[in-house]
Amino acid sequence: MNKTADKTWQTAATFALDASDEREAENFLGIILDKMGLTTGRTASLNMLADRLWIAGVEFDLSELVDPGNPKNYATYVIRQTDTAWHTIRPREDLLIYEWPSPLWLTERPLRGFLHPAVRAVLVQVSYQ
């Protein structure tokens, strides 16, 4: 989190992982975060959504690492190590979302993997609250 005036930028990522159990999901998440160069994350949740589908929520405190004022700075920091085409959504001035994979109707080329074969989807969200 980073304070700007009276509000705070909050940065979080959600990962959909293909794993046989909680231990394997935690292991995959650790590998992925390491490859992304993200050591400031705190796993907020890890839940099984369906057979072999785990949803991991991670919150990041980037206040010492990113210049405040622009949500793109926060999202760019989180995704900087990925060689991935991200779909960006900006529904409001105080919310920025990056998602992978892009919706299928927006995908122009075959999807490449995301740092690890267990990753099915990623959502990075920066909000100003």
Q: What CATH code is carried by the domain that includes residue 93?
A: 3.30.70
Ramachandran bin of 5, using left for φ above 0, alpha for ψ from -120 to 50, beta for the remaining angles: left
**Structural domain count of the chain:** 1
Confidence of residue 112 (pLDDT cuts 50, 70, 90): low
Range of the domain at 10: 2-128
Kindly report, residue by residue over 52-102, the tens digit of the pLDDT: 999 999 998 887 788 777 788 888 888 888 888 888 888 888 889 999 886
Predicted local distance difference test score (pLDDT) of residue 5: 53
pLDDT at 39 over 80: no
| Predicted structure pTM score | 0.81
pLDDT at 24: 96
Cβ-Cβ contacts under 8 Å for 110 (sequence gap 6 or more) = none
pLDDT more than 70, % of the chain:
84
The C-alpha atoms of residue 21 and residue 31 are separated, in whole angstroms, by 16
What is the 3-state secondary structure of the chain?
Answer: CEEECCEEEEEEEEEEEECCCHHHHHHHHHHHHHHCCCCCEEEEEEEEEECCEEEEEEEECCCCCCCCCCHHHHHHHHHCCCCCCCEEEEEECCEEEEEECCCHHHCCCCCCCECECCEEEEEEEEEEC
Q: Is the pLDDT of residue 122 over 70?
A: yes
pLDDT at position 93, please?
A: 83
